[in-house]
Structure formats: structure tokens, C-alpha cells
Amino acid sequence: MRWLPGILLASVAAAAPDARLIVPEGPVWTGQRTPVFIELRAPGSFSGAASFDVPPIAKTTVMKVGNPTLSSETVDGSEVFVQRHEFALFSQADGTLEVPPVTARFRHRIGYTGDARETSQVTEASKIQLRRPPGSP
């Protein structure tokens, strides 16, 4: 940062839009409702509804539930807006379940005002450990 008479100039890089897949760390039971989240991150407020392309997963059903929650964080001096979406995952698989990348499409502004920009972001793949309940076939 440097000062000019009456003006503060700051070098603040706007965070790039991003999508993150969040899965439980520990093992879950086969057939149990497992909460999975996708966080959308953008350098400004969101506009409109986000959409998701969830690839099929063998022996598994994934459903969007509820409404997104909104928050913001400061990352490297820049405000980042976060929209968190919840999904319910039900799987009859056993062992390690590979959750493939999910494509998220959403619109956001830079800061609080201005035109909304459309973006498409892809999450990284993830894994969930599944265990059969004791005594189940």
C-alpha cells in the first residue's frame, strides 16, 4: 500500500471464483443419510440460483436439500462471498466410495454492485469411507 495526498491505494487481488466439495472425514454407515456440501466462492455477491451437474455414482443417490447458506470470509485482505449448498447422499456401496467432480454454474458480481458474471467451476473428486452396519447382509 502507498499513500497519496488524501487517497489510500491498496493492491487487493480479487479472489477467483471457486467450488469446493466437502465430505465427511470419518467412515459412515452404508444406507445412512450422509451430508455432503458444495461451497461456492466468489469475489462478490451472488445473483440468481446456482445449478449443479452431479455425475451418477453406482449404488448411490444424491439429492439437493434445503436452501443455501451465505457468509463471507477475508482471504489475503480480500472479501470472499461463500454460498454453501447441502446434498444428502445415500449409498448401498461398501468400502471406499469415489465421489466424482461436480460442475457448479452460478452468477456473481465483483464486490456488491455491477453486472453479474456467469461462471462454471468444477470441484475436485473426493472419497467417502462406507461401512456395513454390524449384522447386515
Q: Judge whether residue 117 has pLDDT over 60.
A: yes
Grade residue 13 by pLDDT with cuts at 50, 70 and 90.
Answer: very low
Give pLDDT, residue 5.
41
C-alpha cell at 40: 461456492
Residue-wise pLDDT for 55-105, tens only, equals 999 999 999 999 999 999 988 888 899 999 999 999 999 999 999 999 999
C-alpha cell at 55: 455425475
Grade residue 113 by pLDDT with cuts at 50, 70 and 90.
Answer: confident
In this prediction the pTM is: 0.84
User: Which residues, other chains included, contact 132 with Cβ-Cβ below 8 Å and sequence gap of 6+?
Assistant: 29, 30, 94
